Structure 1
Amino acid sequence: MSDEQCDLLCLDFPHAEQVRVRLTAEPNLASAAERAKALADPSRLRVTLALSTGGEMCVCDLAWVCGFNQNLVSHHLRVLRNAGLATSRRDGKLVMYQLASPANALLEMLLAGTETAGHR
């Protein structure tokens, strides 16, 4: 047998059934997976970290801070916004972005134990 499987078939039915019922009642698994997937790209994670550190910023500033071109930053911001991790508002000719609260919580979890965890 492998290290990933039990050597004998067993089932703690009461406990397993409780867990199964809770899992099937969770309506937002798809959106949670999309949020997690949005932060799975290192460049997008860098943009997210820049927003977390700098607060509300425009695309031009984010591009300079992250060392990316504006088109790439705009693409990453669109993915973050579609996943519900960032919000935007127009301020004259500028588009300002900031993180939504779920992004801060996910970012803290992802960066826990890394040297950037205490970035604030």
Structure 2
Amino acid sequence: MGDERCELLCIDFDHAEALRAALPGPEVIARDAERLRALGDPTRLRVARALLAGDELCVCDLAWIVGSSQGLVSHHLRQLRSAGLVDSRRDGKLVMYRLSAHGRTALNVLVGEADPV
């Protein structure tokens, strides 16, 4: 038998059931998984880390910082925004991007600098 499995069935039912009941529902788990998937791409993670360091940046600045084209950065920003990790606002002819509260928290935890928003 592998090291990952118990050799006998020994459920602490009360404890296990309390933990099972406390888990978020499937829709919350699916949303969280989508957010984590969004950060799973190296370019998106680089963009997100640039936003973590720079607070609010336009696509032009982000493209220069991460060393990718504006089109590619825009594509990744759309994915980060649809995952709820990035917010945007129009400032004249510029569109400014920043991490959402969820994005900032996720990134802080991911890079080991947990700082509640």
Name the TM-score, length of structure 2 as normaliser.
0.89
Kindly indicate whether residue 90 of structure 2 is the aligned counterpart of residue 90 of structure 1. yes
CA RMSD after TM alignment = 1.8
Where do 4+ consecutive residues of structure 1 move more than 6 Å? none
**Hey, what does 1:30 align to over in structure 2?**
30
Q: Give the whole-Å Cα distance in 2 for the aligned partners of 1:25 and 1:110.
A: 23
**Hey, what does 2:67 align to over in structure 1?**
67
Q: Give the whole-Å Cα distance in 1 for the aligned partners of 2:23 and 2:71.
A: 39
Kindly indicate whether residue 37 of structure 2 is the aligned counterpart of residue 42 of structure 1. no
Q: Report the CA distance between 1:25 and its aligned residue.
A: 5.0
Q: Report the CA distance between 1:56 and its aligned residue.
A: 1.0
Kindly indicate whether residue 86 of structure 2 is the aligned counterpart of residue 78 of structure 1. no
Q: Report the CA distance between 1:3 and its aligned residue.
A: 0.6
Kindly indicate whether residue 100 of structure 2 is the aligned counterpart of residue 100 of structure 1. yes
The letter for the 2-side match of 1:99 is L
The letter for the 2-side match of 1:18 is A
The letter for the 2-side match of 1:107 is L
Q: What SS does the aligned partner of 1:11 have? A: coil
Kindly indicate whether residue 7 of structure 2 is the aligned counterpart of residue 7 of structure 1. yes
Q: Deviations over 1:36-73 (max 9, x none)?
A: 11111111110001111111111011000100011110
The letter for the 1-side match of 2:40 is A
Name the TM-score, length of structure 1 as normaliser.
0.86
Q: Give the whole-Å Cα distance in 2 for the aligned partners of 1:67 and 1:74.
A: 13
In structure 1, the gaps of 5 or more residues are: none
The letter for the 2-side match of 1:103 is G
Between the aligned residues of both structures, percent identity stands at 57
Q: What SS does the aligned partner of 2:61 have? A: helix
In structure 2, the gaps of 5 or more residues are: none
Q: Give the whole-Å Cα distance in 2 for the aligned partners of 1:78 and 1:25.
A: 26
